[in-house]
Structure 1
Amino acid sequence: MESQARGGTRWKRFGLVMVPSVAATAAIGVALSQGALAASFAVSGQQFKVTTDRLEGTGFSQYGAVNIKHDDEMVPVAVSAFNQATITNLCQSVVVPAPVIGDITVKLGAGGKGHKPVEAKNLFIDIADLNANATFTNIDIGVSSDHLTKGPKPKAGEHRVPGSFAQQAEKAVLTDVKQTAWATSAGTFKLNGLNMSLHRGKNECY
C-alpha cells in the first residue's frame, strides 16, 4: 500500500524528514569531512533550515515529543525517525547572531552533483515545519506512540509524549523538501562531498 501527500504541513506526514542541525557545524565539520561521524550526536537550542532534492529511507516512524532548549523552554515537535536513509543534494543552514558584525549564516551542503548521496543510520529529527512531496509504502496511520515497531528504538533522553498519535511505514520517499527543525541525532552520518561556508547576513537554504 502507498500513500501520497503534497503541499503544506499536515500532522499525518509532518515528519518525513531528515538532516542534522548546523548550530554546531563549525565544531563537528572537521570530523564530518573525514567521512562518517561514527557516534551519536545531537544539536539543539536553535531552529535551522534544510532543503534536499530527495530523501529515501527505510524503517520510518513519527510521533509527538517535547524538545527542551538550552534555556529549558519546552517546544512541542514531531519526531521523524529512520533506520536508514539516503539524502540527495542536502543544504542546511542556521543564522547565528554575532556581536558587532550582526548575523552570520553557517551553511552546509553535501551529496550534491558529482557525489554520492548522504548516508545516515538511526536518524532522528525534531521537526517544526515541513513542505514536501511524500510517498509511504505499507504505512500505518494512527498508531499509538507506545506501539511503534518499524522505526529505530527510542533515542536516549527522548521526551516522547506517552500514547500520542503516531505513524510508521516500511519505506518513505520525500522529494523537493523544505523544512525547519530544532534538533537531530544519528548513529552514523556520512556527508559525501561536504562543503561548509560562512556568510555575513542571512543567506539561508530557502
Structure 2
Amino acid sequence: MRRSGVRVPGVTGPRHRADGGRTDWRRFALAATGALVLAGAMIATTTAAAVPVSFAVAGSPFAVTAHKLEAKGVTQFASFRQETSGRRHAVAAVGLEEVALYGLCQSAVARTPLGTATLRIRSGDHRPVKASSMALDLSSIRGDMRFRAVEMGRDAATLRGGARGASGTYGQRADALTIRHMKIDAWALTAGLFTLGDATMDVRAGEQPCA
C-alpha cells in the first residue's frame, strides 16, 4: 500500500544569559513536568460528552508519531481552532471511540527567552498506548491508512461514534481505521482515558521533534 497523506489548508540551540550564566535546564524541565501533569489531569477528567473540548490552542502544533494506530468508531469533519491572540486555524477534527497506538512518540517544541527546547514523551515498545473517547484537531496526517465500513459525505451533525460537528458540515465516519507509519501534526488532543505503559519523558535543548 502506498504512503498517503492528508493536509488541511490553512532554532536555534540553547542561548546563554547576558550575565554569562548557563541556562538552567533543570528548572525548565521541572516547569515542563508541571505543565504535563496539569495536562494529564485535564485529559483524565474529559468525558465523551465533552469531546471535542474547545480551548485556546498554543501558537504551534505538536507532533505525534507511531508505528501503528488501530482505532474503532472514527469520525472526521472540518472545523477551526483559535489561539488566545484570536488567530484561527483550520483543522480536521477527528473523533475516535477506542484507540491503540504502538511505538508512540509525542514532541512539542518550546521557544523560551532562554532558548529552544523540545519536550518528548515516548511509550514502551511492548505495550500499546490505549485511549478512549479521544478527539484530535489535526493540521496534517501521513501514513498507510486502511478504513473499514467507511461513509463519506454525511452531515457532520449526524455522525455516529467519535464526535459530531455542525449541521451542514461535510463529515465522514468508519467502523475501524488502521494507520501504519503514522505521523501527525496536531493543535489539540483530548481523551476520556489515556494510558501509557513504560512511558518516558525528557526535555532536550534545541529543536528535536519525533521523526
Q: TM-score, normalised by structure 1?
A: 0.78
Q: How does 1:50-199 map to 2 (within 5 A)?
A: 50-99=64-113, 101-110=114-123, 112-114=124-126, 116-149=127-160, 151-154=161-164, 160-199=165-204
CA deviation map 1:141-164 (0-9, x unaligned): 111112101x2345xxxxx45412
Cα RMSD of the aligned pairs, angstroms, is: 2.6
Q: Which has the higher contact order (CA 8 A, sep 6+)?
A: 1
Give the structure with the larger strand fraction.
1
CA distance 1:182–1:130, change in 2 (3 Å): same
State the shift of 1:6 in Å.
Answer: 3.3
SS in structure 1 at match of 2:157: helix
Name the CA distance, whole Å, in 2 between partners of 1:10 and 1:201: 26
DSSP 3-state at the match of 1:181: strand
Closer, same or farther: CA 38–9 of 1 in aligned 2, 3 Å: closer
Change (3 A) 1:86 1:138: same
Looking at CA atoms only, which structure, 1 or 2, has the larger radius of gyration?
2
Contact 2:62 2:185 in 1 (8 A): yes
In the TM superposition, residue 194 of structure 1 has moved relative to its aligned partner by: 1.1
What are the superposed Cα offsets for residues 27-73 of structure 1, whole Å, 9 maximum, x if unpaired? 3545899xxx6312878313101110111011100001111112221
Cα distance, 1:54–1:25 mapped onto 2, change above 3 Å: farther
1:201 partnered with 2:198 = no
For residue 136 of structure 1, what is the amino acid of its counterpart?
A: F
Identity across the alignment (%): 26
